[in-house]
Amino acid sequence: MAWIQKTDINPATGKQYGINPNTGVWDDNYFANVTEKQWLSSPAGQAAQNERSQVDAAGLLKTQAANQTALIEKQKADQGAFLNKYTTGMDTARSALSTELGLPELRQNTQVAGQTARDVSRTMQDLPQALTATGRAASVNQSRLTRGIAQRTSEMQPALETARRAAEDTGAAQSFAETEYTKRLQEKAQPYQLEASMLSEGLAREMTGFTQQNSNELTVILQKLQNNQALTMAEVNRANALADSETKFEQQKELLKLQPSKPNYEYLDLGNRLSVYDPASRQEISSFGKGVKPTAGSTASGW
């Protein structure tokens, strides 16, 4: 139903509604304070108000859904950008550190030295059997054969010791470099970890509406409680509401915690609410009802 307009004809006077019938001239104040108010109390006015309310409600739901979709897309974009930066940055750091510390060469040296030590040790272990077989074929007596085995074993001992030390030295060098590599890589990852934490917290606050102002307010109330100060019933109720919001915020922050891997959750729009579920198990992790996004200072804990 159409809303009354100033230029519409008033059937009671035959003149436009914007004209004051007492003065016969155009009067905006008269229309707003008298004519329109009278019309709003009439059946036609009430019907028009109901119709407008329905239209406004539909528009509000549409706007809320669009805002929610935009937030989800922003969240995915922010996480995708971060994970891409993290992956690229850490891949670059791994390659640079590996080259700087000479890890490829050290690993190769350790492998070669270890194999050499094993070969020399195996040769010494096989020496008595090999010399015994050769000596018996040549009819060498046992006493001479024993002396020969001892002499050859003694001659090979320095080579075995050299190979063993080389294996230990290359292994120690690689172990030191691997430890240094891990330590430096962790240092490279720290800025990303801090950024991930801040990003997850920001997204969780957007999702739940639990602002830093809310957190500070809760801290003040709890501090009063710890100091045995009397709280009003309003403060108690406010603290309970804020604590509930904080719990939902912490749960959402944990859910959104970024890891250097593909996010392990997805969203499903169920019409009246948004479901967060594990795509692997198809189990629902959390859900948020659709509504008005909370403003700063609000006790609401969801959409």
Q: What is the pLDDT of residues 134-162, one digit of tens each?
A: 756 555 567 777 777 788 888 888 888 99
Nearest CA-CA partner of 169 in 228, 116, 209: 116
Residue 2 is encoded by which pair of tokens? 């159409």
CA-to-CA distance for 94 and 83, rounded, in angstroms? 16
Residue 113 is encoded by which pair of tokens? 């030295």
Inter-residue contact 93 to 188 (CB < 8 Å): yes
Residue 121 is encoded by which pair of tokens? 């040790």
CA-to-CA distance for 121 and 115, rounded, in angstroms? 10
- Long-range Cβ contacts of 118-124 (<8 Å, 24+ apart): 119/163, 120/156, 120/159, 120/160, 120/163, 121/160, 121/163, 121/164, 123/156, 124/153, 124/156, 124/157, 124/160
Q: Pick 83 or 96 by higher pLDDT.
A: 96
Residue partners of 277: CB distance under 8 A and separation at least 6: 265, 266, 267, 268, 283, 284, 285
**Residues 78, 84, 88, 94, Cα dihedral to 10°:** 90
pLDDT value at 270 more than 90: no
**Among 18-27, 122-131, 241-250, the range of highest mean pLDDT:** 241-250
What three-state secondary structure class fits 78?
helix
Q: Pick 196 or 234 by higher pLDDT.
A: 234
Q: Pick 210 or 64 by higher pLDDT.
A: 210
pLDDT value at 191 more than 70: yes
pTM for the model: 0.47
Q: What is the pLDDT of residue 297?
A: 35
Q: Pick 127 or 171 by higher pLDDT.
A: 171
Q: What is the pLDDT of residue 140?
A: 59
What is the CB neighbour count within 10 angstroms for residue 204?
21
Q: What is the pLDDT of residue 47?
A: 78
CA-to-CA distance for 289 and 303, rounded, in angstroms? 6
pLDDT class of 102 with cuts at 50, 70, 90:
very high
What is the CB neighbour count within 10 angstroms for residue 210?
28
Inter-residue contact 79 to 263 (CB < 8 Å): yes
Q: What is the pLDDT of residue 303?
A: 29
What three-state secondary structure class fits 190?
helix
**Among 125-139, 214-228, 250-264, the range of highest mean pLDDT:** 214-228
Q: What is the pLDDT of residue 76?
A: 77
pLDDT value at 285 more than 90: no
Q: What is the pLDDT of residue 289?
A: 47
pLDDT class of 45 with cuts at 50, 70, 90:
low
CA-to-CA distance for 154 and 226, rounded, in angstroms? 80
pLDDT value at 198 more than 50: yes
Q: Pick 163 or 258 by higher pLDDT.
A: 163
Look up residue 13 and give its DSSP letter.
T
For the chain, strand residue ranges (E) read 9-10, 15-16, 266-269, 273-277, 284-289
